[in-house]
Structure 1
Amino acid sequence: MHAVRLHAFGPAENLTHESVADPVPGPGQVRIAVAAAGVHLLDAALRKGAQGPYPAPVELPTVPGREVAGTVDRIGAGTDDTWLGKRVVAHLGMNPGGYAELAVTDADRLHEIPDGLDEAEAVAMIGTGRTALGILQFTDLGPADTVIVPAAAGGIGTLIVQYAKNAGATVIGLAGGPAKTARVRAGGADLAVDYLHPDWPDTLRTHLGDRRATVLYDSVGGDTARAAADLLAKGGRHIVFGWSSQGITTDAAPLFTDQELAERGITSEGVLGPAMLEKAGGLRALETRALTEAAAGRLRPTVTRFPLDQAAAAHRALETRDTVGKVVLVP
């Protein structure tokens, strides 16, 4: 088979498309003929040598990628043979191997892909979709809410915009450049604002008039989040699930001190990690819900596709924010 391998930590060009031996499923495992493999910013950080959630940097050489969808073409000993031939999607967890024509995983990680979803959409929902729903469970949105979504053209952002609109909220999406703001507007946002323009906060203030926002879904941090938080009403909520303005990190300094929060009359809450999983009933529950919401048409991911042999280009585009929605490799 062909796969993308990383032999040395460093730039995207270190990802090479190679011919490698076909993987063989072990006991309790299946092999998937991959039709779509998800690409995540964490993949780019790991490519550079960061540990991310791992106890140590990944061992090299490695085939990156932790989200795959396709058809089960082989099973290991003791695996339920009814999986053979089924369209499935799986998050590989701590075991990479997704950037390939064939991938192996434990059968208990599989979800059958619902009718009406293609493999790329399923990949988007198994990772990005589950995270979006995990974030959204911390707020109970309704018609009285006005929400601000920085990075509204990203994989999670596009889903939050859809969910908030379905709940009846007024949605303001921030994105960089006219092409992305057009996509955000087409995705359902009531207002799409280009944060590359220095006067974008004034545009929001003019649109809001006497109103203020009630929720800020923040994956960006930095100056953009601070400016958006200035538009929160008393009692407004700052929901934090990333710090992309500081690069990929598993931690960052709080955007506001306790004194600033008290003076502004808002709260700030980080929602990633154990609290999210406990509230949702675990990762699998989130994955199942994400696939169900997409199959029902209530949430539909936006996908940017790259051929498998262009994994390096996909990483570069993702790192320079030159993509919309979820990035997926297609063998």
Structure 2
Amino acid sequence: MHAIRLHAFGPAENLTHEEVEDPVPAPGQVRITVAAAGVHLLDTALREGVRGPLPELPALPTVPGREVAGTVDALGDGVDPSWLGKRVVAHLGFAPGGYAELAVTDAARLHEIPENLDPAQAVAMIGTGRTAMGIVQFADDLGPGSVAVVLAAAGGIGTLLVQYARNAGAGVVGLAGGPRKTARVQANGVDLAVDYTEPGWPDKVRAFLGGRPATLVFDGVGGDTAREAVALLGPGGRHLVFGWSAEGIRDGGPYLVDGVSEQVLGPAMFARAGGPDPLRTLELRALTEAAAGRLVPAVERFPLAEAAAAHRALESRRTTGKVVLEP
């Protein structure tokens, strides 16, 4: 099979398209003919040798990628034979191996892909979608009369948060960088799409709201944009923090305000999700919302062989939606 391999930590150019041996499923595992593999910002940090929230860096050489969708083509011992030939999606957890034509994973991680989703959309929901479902658990004050401000609203998570807030009946202001992304945000159904790279953008939001304060800020960006967005909140307003891409995974941290900001990733999110496997609970919710048409992921597709280009585009914030590689 062909796969993307990393032999040395460093720039995107270190990702090479190579022919490697086909993986063989171990007991309890399946092998998937990959139709789509998710690319995450964390992948770019791991490529450079920064482990971020993971317990350790992968051993080299490695095939990056932790989200795949496709068709089960081989079974390990002990796996239910009904999985063979099914369209499935899985998050591989801490194990790499997704940027490839074939990938193996535990059968317990599998979800059957709903009929109305293609593999790329399913990949978007299994990773980005599950995170969005975890975030909105903290947004129980959304509804008619409330106003949500969504940072990075053209991104994979931001696109879904806009849709969720809109479905809840809230007013939605979506922030994005540049006219192309702002147009995508407007088309996603926001009440106001704003280019945060333009000077004085908060005044544009205030004028649109007519003096009404924002209720909630969804923030995966941090930095100056978060600082200005939080200033739009009224008394009792909340700032939900799930990332700080403006600062980078390697250094810095989120912008936080005492009594206003709440970091929603990690144990608090898992506790709210409940069940014996909270991540799987959130994955099921995400796929269910997509199957029902209530959430529609945005996807930007690259050929598998162009993984380096996908990494560069993601790092430079030129992408919209979830970045996916297709063999």
TM range (shorter): over 0.9
Question: CA shift at 1:309, angstroms?
Answer: 0.0
Q: Could you tell me which residue of structure 1 aligns to residue 98 of structure 2?
A: 98
Report matched runs for 1:81-92 at 5 Å. 81-92=81-92
Q: Could you tell me which residue of structure 1 aligns to residue 285 of structure 2?
A: 289
For residues 219 and 188 of structure 1, do their structure 2 counterparts lie closer, same or farther at Cα, with a shift above 3 Å needed?
Answer: same
Alpha-carbon separation, structure 1, partners of 2:185 and 2:197: 15
Secondary structure, in 3 states, of the residue corresponding to 1:245?
coil
Alpha-carbon separation, structure 2, partners of 1:83 and 1:211: 53
Equivalent position amino acid for 1:187 in 2: N
Secondary structure, in 3 states, of the residue corresponding to 2:128?
helix
For residue 276 of structure 1, the aligned residue among 269, 276, 288 is 269
Alpha-carbon separation, structure 1, partners of 2:211 and 2:100: 53
Secondary structure, in 3 states, of the residue corresponding to 2:31?
strand
Deviations 1:142-187 (A, max 9, x none): 0121010010000000000000000000000000111100000000
Q: Could you tell me which residue of structure 2 aligns to residue 67 of structure 1?
A: 67
**TM-score, structure 1 normalization:** 0.96
- Is 2:226–2:255's contact at 8 Å kept on the other side of the alignment? no
Equivalent position amino acid for 1:239 in 2: L
For residue 307 of structure 1, the aligned residue among 303, 307, 312 is 303
State the identity as a percent: 72
Question: CA shift at 1:254, angstroms?
Answer: 4.7
CA RMSD of aligned residues (A): 1.1
Alpha-carbon separation, structure 1, partners of 2:203 and 2:250: 30
Question: CA shift at 1:250, angstroms?
Answer: 8.6
Q: Structure 1: which 4+ aligned runs deviate by more than 3 Å?
A: none
Q: Could you tell me which residue of structure 1 aligns to residue 312 of structure 2?
A: 316
Q: Please identify, of 9-18 and 201-210, the stretch whose mean Cα deviation from structure 2 is larger.
A: 201-210
- Is 2:58–2:96's contact at 8 Å kept on the other side of the alignment? no
Alpha-carbon separation, structure 1, partners of 2:176 and 2:200: 14
**TM-score, structure 2 normalization:** 0.97
Equivalent position amino acid for 1:327 in 2: V
In the alignment of these two chains, the number of paired residues is 323
- Is 1:212–1:232's contact at 8 Å kept on the other side of the alignment? yes
For residues 253 and 320 of structure 1, do their structure 2 counterparts lie closer, same or farther at Cα, with a shift above 3 Å needed?
Answer: closer
Equivalent position amino acid for 1:146 in 2: V
Q: Could you tell me which residue of structure 2 aligns to residue 202 of structure 1?
A: 203
Q: Could you tell me which residue of structure 2 aligns to residue 116 of structure 1?
A: 116
Deviations 1:285-327 (A, max 9, x none): 1000100100100001000000000000000000011110000
- Is 1:117–1:295's contact at 8 Å kept on the other side of the alignment? yes
| 5+ long unaligned stretches in structure 2 | none
Q: Could you tell me which residue of structure 2 aligns to residue 298 of structure 1?
A: 294
| 5+ long unaligned stretches in structure 1 | 262-266
Alpha-carbon separation, structure 1, partners of 2:251 and 2:163: 27
